[in-house]
Every structure is written in C-alpha cells, then in structure tokens.
C-alpha cells in the first residue's frame, strides 16, 4: 500500500467567548484538517492546531510545511510510521503541529486497515476518558460562576488558569472552592506566568482550598526551579510546555522536575512520540495526562484514544469541544456524557469529514 495524496483545509470556528490564559487570549479555533489517501482505498484524517507561543507555528506555516510533506509522502507506505517520522524530521526540524496532522492521519489509516478503533490499536486499556474543564482567566466572581455552571453540567475536575495577577488568582481560587464545594477536584495552571517566589506564595495562600496540583508555573526552560518547587511545596508539579518530546521527558526525570507530565499531540508531533514520552515517565514511576490546544474532534479523538489506551495516563484535559458550537463538518469520534468522553467502537478515529 502506498500514499497517493495529501490534501488539507483550513478551518476557523469562533469560540463562545474569548479563552484567556497568562500568555494571551484566543477567540477562534483555527486548525488545518488533513486527509491522506492510499492506492488501496484507505484514507485517514489528521489535524494541526498550531500555537506561536508553544510550537512556534502559525496556520500559514503549517500549510507551507504540509505542501512540502505532500511531496515527500507520495509513494510511502502509510503503515511505516517510524520511517515516515524519520523522513519528516530529516526534512525539517520542529513544526510539530504539522507533523501531528500527518501522524494522526497515519494512525487513522492503520486502525482502518486492522479494523480496530485507535484506542485498541494503542493499547486498549479502556474506551472512556474523564476530562477536566478549564476555567479561563477573568474577574474572580465570573470565574467562580463559570466553575459552578461547569459542575452543574457534570464536570468533577476543574483546571483554573492563573498567572497574570497573583491577588486575583488567589481570590478566584477561594471563590471557586466556596462555589463548587469540597468534592470537586481543583488544579491550577499558570502557563509559565509565575516565578519561584510567586509559586511558593500562591501554594501557601491556597493550602486551605484543597488544590491538588499546579501546572507549569515556571518558564519552560527552568527544570531546576521545578525540581526545587517539588522539594519545598506540598503540591504536585505538572510540566507542560517544558516537555515536547522524549528527550525533554528524560531530562525532566533526571532532574526530578515533575510529578506528572502533560502530553499534547501538537507539541510532540503526534501519537508516535507521545507514546515514547509516556513510556519514559512510566519507567520513572510518573503518571501522565493528555491535554489539548483549542482543537476539533479530530485531534481530540486522537488524544482521548491515547488516554484510554494507556493505564499510566491517568488524567485528561480534553475539553476544547466545550468552547464552541459543534462544527458540522466533522462527524463521529466520540460521545460525551457529563465529563466523560466515550470513544466510538469504529476503526481508526471513527471520524468522517467531507473533504
């Protein structure tokens, strides 16, 4: 079997309201959908959702790189995923969102060839995933109101964005805990917005609110600082932007910098490298979670399939489907009941797109 074509389509979906984190605001889901076809009639879908601040890519850079990838991929065996990653990495460094789109499409094809859903292809631990929901930065009372609405919809884990104004961050956490009660799990995510002093101050000030973890409080390069936080603070430290690939994961393990790693397919270049990150973390006795950018069902289904497949991936932040009205052009993938993503028992991603 050989690849005969790669085509892509840019999409832009307006969010219900701007999504604000410490590094800026997002008003649209902007992605590039990819379709790879073969000479035996199999085809697979993928998605690239770039982030200038995380992956260093834009929609325009992704489409430019995908044109190059099309020339490289024509004639390749779509099931030779390791070889294709080697070829793509040799052709261009970085550009992990563009590579993730190709990677996801290849795994979709593999699932269809083997007549197995992706979560079984990757390990098959279970077929459902409990996801948190993220509360973006805003006025503290507005954040508390949003948190209560989310809990009323069935979400039991909240991730609270912080990192712009420490005083407002603390007040928001206080109001959210008072609003949602004691049984809802809370995590915070500063997206590199704090330094060590701010983080230790925040942890001290919220110790009565039962916050279980803080994600990426420090700059992505500060592995030593994260290791110091783990020694000084009685709270889990999750690394996100610090870990893009297996080499970063190994560095984090050697430095004792993380209690958990947040894997994102757009950072890792897809499922192939994401599995390596999880394997390294698991070998060190560290659990992983899978997060997302503001993605459509294509990348979300791939991410959820990875979580469902692996026992060591215990947490998920795959909630971006909540930020916008459902995009009519994408069907299938999963169903949602409360805070639980239930993967469809269909080959590959189980997704259809008219493209």
Q: Which of 35, 99, 148, 161 is catalytic?
A: 161
Bind-site residues for Mg(2+): 189, 215, 240
Is it true that 3-115 and 120-353 share their CATH fold? no
CATH class of the domain defined by 3-115: alpha beta
Tokens 């995510």 sit on residue = 189
- Structure confidence at residue 20 (pLDDT): 73
Q: Which of 112, 148, 264, 297 is catalytic?
A: 264
Domain ranges of the chain: 3-115, 120-353
CATH for the stretch 120-353: 3.20.20.120
Q: Residue 273, class by beta-carbon neighbours within 10 Å (0-12 exposed, 13-18 middle, 19+ buried)?
A: buried
Q: Is 161 a catalytic residue?
A: yes
Distance (Å, rounded) from C-alpha 293 to C-alpha 282? Answer: 24
| 8 Å CB contact between 188 and 173 | yes
CB atoms within 10 A of CB 338: 11
Q: What is the pTM of this model?
A: 0.95
| 8 Å CB contact between 22 and 163 | yes
Buried b / exposed e over 291-309, threshold 16 CB at 10 Å, is bbbbbbbbbbbbbbbbbbb
Tens digits of pLDDT across the chain (355 residues) = 999 999 999 999 888 777 778 767 787 789 999 999 999 999 999 999 999 989 999 999 999 999 999 999 999 999 999 999 999 999 999 999 999 999 999 999 999 999 999 999 999 999 999 999 999 999 999 999 999 999 999 999 999 999 989 999 999 999 999 999 999 999 999 999 999 999 999 999 999 999 999 999 999 999 999 999 999 998 999 999 999 999 999 999 999 999 999 999 999 999 999 999 999 999 999 999 999 999 999 999 999 999 999 999 999 999 988 888 777 789 999 999 999 999 999 999 999 999 8
| 8 Å CB contact between 68 and 91 | yes
Q: Is 264 a catalytic residue?
A: yes
- Structure confidence at residue 23 (pLDDT): 65
Bind-site residues: 189, 215, 240
DSSP symbols for 34-56: EEEEETTS-EEEEEE---TTTTS
- Structure confidence at residue 323 (pLDDT): 83
Q: Provide the β-strand partners of residue 44.
A: 36
């Amino acid at each position: 079997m050989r690849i005969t074509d790669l085509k892509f389509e840019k999409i832009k979906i307006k969010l219900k309201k701007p999504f604000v984190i410490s590094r800026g605001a997002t008003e649209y889901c902007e992605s590039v959908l990819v379709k790879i076809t073969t000479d035996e009639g199999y085809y697979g879908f993928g998605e690239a959702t770039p982030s200038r601040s995380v992956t260093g890519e834009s929609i325009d850079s992704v489409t430019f790189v995908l044109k190059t990838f099309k020339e490289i991929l024509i004639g390749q065996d779509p099931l030779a995923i390791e070889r294709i990653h080697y070829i793509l990495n040799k052709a261009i460094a970085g550009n992990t969102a563009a590579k993730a789109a190709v990677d996801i499409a290849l795994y979709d094809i593999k699932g269809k060839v083997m007549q197995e859903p992706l979560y079984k292809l990757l390990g098959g631990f279970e077929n459902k995933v409990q996801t948190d929901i993220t509360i973006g930065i805003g006025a503290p009372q507005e954040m508390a109101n949003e948190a209560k609405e989310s809990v009323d919809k069935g979400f039991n884990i909240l991730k609270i964005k912080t990192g712009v104004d420490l005083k407002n961050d603390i007040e928001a956490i206080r109001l959210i805990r008072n609003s949602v009660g004691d049984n809802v799990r809370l995590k915070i995510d500063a997206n590199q917005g704090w330094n060590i002093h701010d983080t230790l101050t925040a942890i001290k000030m919220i110790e009565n609110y039962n916050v279980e973890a803080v994600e990426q409080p420090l700059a992505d390069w500060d592995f030593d600082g994260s290791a110091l936080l783990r020694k000084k603070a009685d709270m889990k430290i999750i690394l996100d932007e610090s870990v893009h690939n297996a080499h970063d994961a190994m560095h984090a393990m050697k430095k004792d910098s993380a209690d958990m790693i947040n894997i994102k397919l757009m950072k890792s270049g897809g499922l192939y490298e994401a599995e390596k990150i999880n394997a390294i973390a698991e070998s060190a006795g560290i659990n992983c979670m899978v997060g997302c950018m503001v993605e459509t069902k294509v990348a979300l289904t791939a991410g959820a399939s990875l979580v469902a497949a692996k026992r060591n991936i215990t947490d998920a932040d795959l909630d971006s489907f909540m930020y916008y009205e459902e995009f009519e052009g994408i069907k299938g993938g999963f169903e949602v009941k409360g805070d639980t993503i239930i993967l469809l028992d269909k080959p590959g991603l189980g997704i259809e797109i008219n493209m």
